[in-house]
C-alpha cells in the first residue's frame, strides 16, 4: 500500500523540514486537501502550495482531495499546478460523469470520494471511469478525527464491488487509520492509506521512522 502523506498534518512553521523527512522515509505520494469553506466549514490549502510541492518534489505524486461546491472551477488550475490524482465528492455536483471527463481531459487521474453517510453502491453507474475511489472513514473537513465505527466493513463492501465488476481503480482510505487498522486494510485489499496523525505524524519515533515502519509493515 502507498502512504499518501496528508500535508494538512505538517507543521506550517517546520513545513520544509517535515516534507523532507517524509521523502527521506520513503513517501511517494502527498495528499493535499483543498477546502472552500462552503462544502465543509474549513479553509485550506492554496493551489500555489501544490505548484511549489510538485516543483520541489517532482518524483512525489500529488494526490489532491477537493472539498468544494463547484469542482469544475478548479480542474484546469489544479492540472496546471501539477496534480496527478484529483478526487472530488460525488454529492458536490449533479454532473459526476462530466467532472470525471474534465479531469481526465486535463491530464489528471480522476477519483471520487464516498462520505460516511453515503451508500457504497451509489458509485456503480460511474465507477468504471475513475482511477481511484476514496472512502472517508471520518467526516470530511478536519484532521485528527477518530476512525468511524463500521469503516472496515464499508471497505470490504467497496473491495467486493471492485471484484464483482472486475474494475481496477485504487481503493484509498482517508481518516483515522492507525497501524492496527492499516493491517486490516491491507488484508481487505486497500491500495492507498492517507498518512495522518494516527500513523505518521503523531508517532513518537518521528516522521522518518514512522514512514519507514509504514512501508515495511504495510507497503
Contact 53, 32 (CB under 8 A): yes
pLDDT at 141: 79
pLDDT at 131: 98
Kindly report the length of the chain. 219
191 is catalytic: no
Work out the mean pLDDT of the chain and round it to a whole number.
96
pLDDT digits over 43-80, tens only? 999 999 999 999 999 999 999 999 999 999 999 999 99
pLDDT at 142: 82
Supply the pTM of this predicted model.
0.95
Alpha carbon 91 to its chain centroid, in Å, reads 17
pLDDT digits over 178-189, tens only? 999 999 999 999
Number of domains the chain contains: 1
- Cell numbers for 169: 481503480
pLDDT digits over 96-127, tens only? 999 999 999 999 999 999 999 999 999 999 99
Q: What percent of the chain stands above pLDDT 70?
A: 100
Dist. CA 155–CA 71, nearest whole Å: 25
Dist. CA 10–CA 137, nearest whole Å: 20
Full residue range of the structural domain in which residue 49 is found: 2-218
Dist. CA 191–CA 93, nearest whole Å: 26
pLDDT at 128: 95
- Catalytic residue, chosen from 20, 33, 178, 191, is 33
Query: Given pLDDT bands bounded at 50, 70 and 90, which one contains residue 144?
Result: confident
33 is catalytic: yes
State the CATH number of the domain containing residue 38.
3.20.20.70
Dist. CA 123–CA 117, nearest whole Å: 13
Q: Is the four-CA dihedral 62, 68, 69, 74 of positive or negative sign?
A: negative
- Catalytic residue, chosen from 63, 131, 174, 191, is 174
Amino acid at each position: 500500500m502507498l502512504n499518501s502523506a496528508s500535508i494538512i498534518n505538517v507543521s506550517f512553521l517546520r513545513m520544509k523540514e517535515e516534507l523532507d523527512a517524509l521523502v527521506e522515509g520513503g513517501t511517494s505520494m502527498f495528499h493535499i486537501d483543498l477546502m472552500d469553506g462552503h462544502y465543509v466549514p474549513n479553509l485550506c490549502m492554496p493551489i500555489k502550495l501544490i505548484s511549489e510541492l510538485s516543483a520541489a518534489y517532482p518524483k512525489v505524486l500529488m494526490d489532491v482531495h477537493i472539498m468544494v461546491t463547484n469542482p469544475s472551477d478548479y480542474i484546469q488550475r489544479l492540472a496546471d499546478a501539477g496534480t496527478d490524482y484529483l478526487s472530488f465528492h460525488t454529492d458536490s455536483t449533479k454532473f459526476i460523469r462530466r467532472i470525471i471527463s474534465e479531469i481526465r481531459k486535463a491530464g489528471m487521474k480522476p477519483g471520487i470520494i464516498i462520505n460516511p453517510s453515503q451508500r457504497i453502491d451509489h458509485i456503480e453507474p460511474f465507477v468504471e471511469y475513475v482511477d481511484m475511489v476514496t472512502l472517508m472513514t471520518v467526516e470530511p473537513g478536519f484532521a485528527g478525527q477518530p476512525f468511524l465505527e463500521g469503516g472496515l466493513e464499508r471497505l470490504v463492501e467497496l473491495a467486493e464491488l471492485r471484484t464483482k465488476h472486475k474494475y481496477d481503480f485504487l481503493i484509498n482510505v482517508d481518516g483515522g487509520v492507525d497501524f492496527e487498522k492499516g493491517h486490516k486494510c491491507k488484508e481487505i485489499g486497500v491500495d492507498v492509506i492517507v498518512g495522518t496523525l494516527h500513523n505518521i505524524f503523531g508517532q513518537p519515533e518521528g516522521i522518518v521512522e514512522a514512514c519507514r515502519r509504514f512501508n515495511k509493515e504495510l507497503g
